[in-house]
């Protein structure tokens, strides 16, 4: 249970606090599934669709840079709530602007940045109000919330469009994106964090020193290379849907299995973390997951190119990716500490770092597929991840020292 103030108030249980991260999953799910379908239905070329989606997802890399100014000016509950509501409003506006490409793209970039900032504020906030022994459980539930949001948004827009006009769908989905912020009302806000933030806001020199110190912290310097290299990216999850034909799987089979596995395997992988964290420390566990997942990817080489193998691949890759992401968030919570005035900035910096290898490994996997087919892609993804894990194993000893 959360370690909160001594005031006799009733707070949300730990799992519900984690589920408040659903806003990010809902908005991200819209960008990856309904948006391409919506644009394709309008006759937009595939290359342009890919470029629009990439641009809309770009705040995942740079959004954290706005964190320092927000961290020292506002309470994390205030700006987590503000940006969740803004993300919902922009979602509604974007759906109503779907036939105006420039407006749509601009709105969705701002909307996803808002969802990211809300999630970063939430992560920094949660990292300061739970006990160390609860961090694995909290991390798991934040990722369950994200996966559930993704799965809901992958299905709802298409189903609603069959029976409702855009003028009704837009406010419904916008409200859904903002709705998880209601949980914030039942989460504690430590007063000492607000005091520290105000101190930094009043002194530019203190703010600069604190920000510089953040990038010099040993925990941050260790975690950054851990997340920037593909030790646990599992980028194959994003590529498998496009190569279903190599497994002789029909498009209908691919879409249905992908949606089902994303929800079930994702939630299962996240919830494995609290159980495994009781037996293995978080940092070594990250390497264990990366190595085991890479070996699983290699094992697919021995299986026939059949629909059942595709389902197995989607199941396994999603379980390992969900477990890896949950472990990365738990590591991030552990680095934040309890009296960190730039907690949300640090959370955003480290979680943004986990997004980068998904991007470049996706490109590398695509290159490998072009040169060696399915077997080349599987082999490349697994061996590069294994090499990264082996190269970074000394970090386990470094983190244990001091």
Q: What is the DSSP string of 319-386?
A: HHHHHHHHHHHHHHHHHH-SS-TTHHHHHHHHHHHHHHHHHHHHHHHHHHHHHHHHHHHHHHHHHHHH
- The two tokens of residue 180 are 């998880």
**Could you tell me which of 59, 81, 60, 120 has the C-alpha nearest to residue 345?**
120
pLDDT, one tens digit per residue, over 112-135 is 999 999 999 999 889 888 888 899
pLDDT, one tens digit per residue, over 274-295 is 999 999 988 889 999 999 999 9
| CA separation for the pair 200, 210 (Å, rounded) | 8
Per-residue confidence (pLDDT) for residue 341, from 0 to 100: 75
Contact between 356 and 228 under an 8 Å Cβ cutoff? The reply is yes
Q: Summarize the confidence of residues 207-219 as an average pLDDT.
A: 65
pLDDT-derived band at 4 (thresholds 50, 70, 90) equals very low
pLDDT at 263 over 70: yes
pLDDT-derived band at 67 (thresholds 50, 70, 90) equals confident
Residues 6+ apart with CB under 8 A from 113: 59, 63, 66
83, burial (CB in 10 Å: exposed 0-12, middle 13-18, buried 19+): buried
Q: Pick the range with the lowest mean pLDDT from 5-19, 215-229, 324-338.
A: 5-19
Per-residue confidence (pLDDT) for residue 245, from 0 to 100: 85
Per-residue confidence (pLDDT) for residue 127, from 0 to 100: 85
| CA separation for the pair 271, 61 (Å, rounded) | 26
Q: Pick the range with the lowest mean pLDDT from 18-32, 91-105, 322-336, 359-373.
A: 359-373
Helix runs in 179-250, H state only: 191-202, 204-216, 218-228, 236-239
352, burial (CB in 10 Å: exposed 0-12, middle 13-18, buried 19+): buried
Per-residue confidence (pLDDT) for residue 193, from 0 to 100: 54
Q: CA-based Rg of the chain, rounded to a whole angstrom?
A: 21
| CA separation for the pair 197, 340 (Å, rounded) | 9
Cα 304–Cα 154–Cα 328 angle in degrees, nearest 5: 75
337 Rama class: left (phi>0) / alpha (psi -120 to 50) / beta: left
Contact between 328 and 232 under an 8 Å Cβ cutoff? The reply is yes
| CA separation for the pair 238, 359 (Å, rounded) | 10
Per-residue confidence (pLDDT) for residue 195, from 0 to 100: 52
Which one-letter DSSP state was computed for residue 2? -
pLDDT, one tens digit per residue, over 91-119 is 999 999 999 999 999 999 999 999 999 99
Contact between 329 and 142 under an 8 Å Cβ cutoff? The reply is yes
Per-residue confidence (pLDDT) for residue 202, from 0 to 100: 47
Higher pLDDT pick, 325 / 402: 325
| CA separation for the pair 343, 337 (Å, rounded) | 8
pLDDT, one tens digit per residue, over 69-88 is 676 666 788 889 999 999 99
pLDDT-derived band at 182 (thresholds 50, 70, 90) equals very high
pLDDT at 161 over 80: yes
Q: Summarize the confidence of residues 198-217 as an average pLDDT.
A: 57
pLDDT-derived band at 199 (thresholds 50, 70, 90) equals low
pLDDT-derived band at 150 (thresholds 50, 70, 90) equals confident
Helix count and strand count (H, E) for the chain:
19, 0
pLDDT at 1 over 60: no
pLDDT, one tens digit per residue, over 46-57 is 668 878 888 898
DSSP one-letter string for 158-172? HHHHTTS-HHHHHHH
pLDDT-derived band at 393 (thresholds 50, 70, 90) equals confident
pLDDT at 322 over 80: yes
Q: Summarize the confidence of residues 180-202 as an average pLDDT.
A: 71
Domains of the chain as residue ranges with CATH: 11-208 (1.20.1250.20), 217-402 (1.20.1250.20)
Per-residue confidence (pLDDT) for residue 370, from 0 to 100: 85
Per-residue confidence (pLDDT) for residue 204, from 0 to 100: 45
pLDDT at 225 over 50: yes
**Could you tell me which of 192, 181, 212, 195 has the C-alpha nearest to residue 338?**
192
| CA separation for the pair 91, 108 (Å, rounded) | 7
**Average pLDDT over all residues of the chain:** 85
Per-residue confidence (pLDDT) for residue 89, from 0 to 100: 98
pLDDT-derived band at 212 (thresholds 50, 70, 90) equals low
**Could you tell me which of 362, 259, 233, 366 has the C-alpha nearest to residue 314?**
259
Per-residue confidence (pLDDT) for residue 84, from 0 to 100: 97
Residue with the two structure tokens 């379908």: 37
- The two tokens of residue 129 are 């109000």
Query: In the chain, what percentage of residues exceed pLDDT 70?
Result: 87
Q: Strand, coil or helix: what is 131?
A: coil
State the CB neighbour count (10 A cutoff) for residue 68.
22
| CA separation for the pair 187, 189 (Å, rounded) | 7
pLDDT-derived band at 339 (thresholds 50, 70, 90) equals confident
């Amino acid at each position: 249970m959360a370690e909160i103030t001594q005031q006799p108030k009733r707070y949300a249980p730990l799992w519900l606090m984690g589920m408040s991260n659903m806003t990010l999953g809902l908005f991200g799910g819209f960008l990856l599934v309904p948006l391409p379908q919506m644009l394709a239905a309008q006759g937009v070329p595939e290359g342009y669709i890919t470029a629009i989606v990439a641009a809309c997802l770009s705040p995942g890399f740079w959004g954290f840079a706005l964190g320092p100014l927000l961290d020292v000016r506002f309470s994390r509950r205030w700006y987590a709530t503000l940006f969740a509501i803004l993300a919902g409003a922009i979602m509604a506006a974007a759906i109503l602007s779907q036939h105006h490409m420039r407006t749509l793209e601009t709105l969705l970039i701002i909307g996803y940045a808002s969802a990211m900032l809300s999630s970063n504020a939430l992560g920094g906030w949660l990292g300061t109000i739970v006990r160390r022994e609860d961090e694995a459980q909290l991390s798991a539930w934040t990722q369950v919330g994200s996966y559930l949001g993704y799965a809901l948004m992958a299905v709802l827009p298409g189903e609603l469009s069959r029976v409702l006009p855009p003028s009704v769908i837009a406010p419904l989905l916008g409200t859904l994106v903002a709705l998880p912020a209601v949980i914030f009302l039942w989460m504690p806000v430590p007063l000492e964090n607000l005091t520290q933030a105000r101190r930094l806001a009043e002194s530019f020199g203190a703010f600069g020193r604190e920000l510089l110190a953040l990038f010099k912290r040993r925990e941050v310097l260790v975690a950054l290379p851990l997340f920037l290299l593909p030790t646990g990216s599992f980028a194959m999850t994003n590529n498998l849907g496009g190569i279903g034909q190599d497994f002789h799987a029909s498009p209908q089979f691919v879409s249905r299995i992908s949606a089902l596995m994303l929800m079930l395997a994702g939630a299962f992988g996240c919830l494995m973390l609290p159980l495994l964290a009781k037996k293995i420390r978080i940092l070594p566990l990250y390497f264990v997951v990366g190595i085991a997942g890479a070996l699983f990817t290699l094992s697919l080489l021995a299986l026939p190119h059949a629909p059942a193998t595709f389902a197995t691949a989607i199941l396994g890759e999603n379980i390992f990716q969900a477990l890896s992401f949950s472990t990365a968030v738990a590591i991030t919570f552990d680095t934040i500490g309890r009296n960190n005035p730039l907690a949300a900035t640090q959370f955003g910096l480290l979680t943004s770092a986990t997004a980068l290898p998904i991007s470049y490994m996706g490109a590398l996997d695509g290159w490998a597929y072009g040169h060696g087919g399915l077997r080349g892609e599987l082999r490349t993804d697994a061996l590069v991840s294994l090499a990264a894990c082996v190269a970074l194993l000394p970090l386990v000893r470094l983190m244990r020292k001091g």
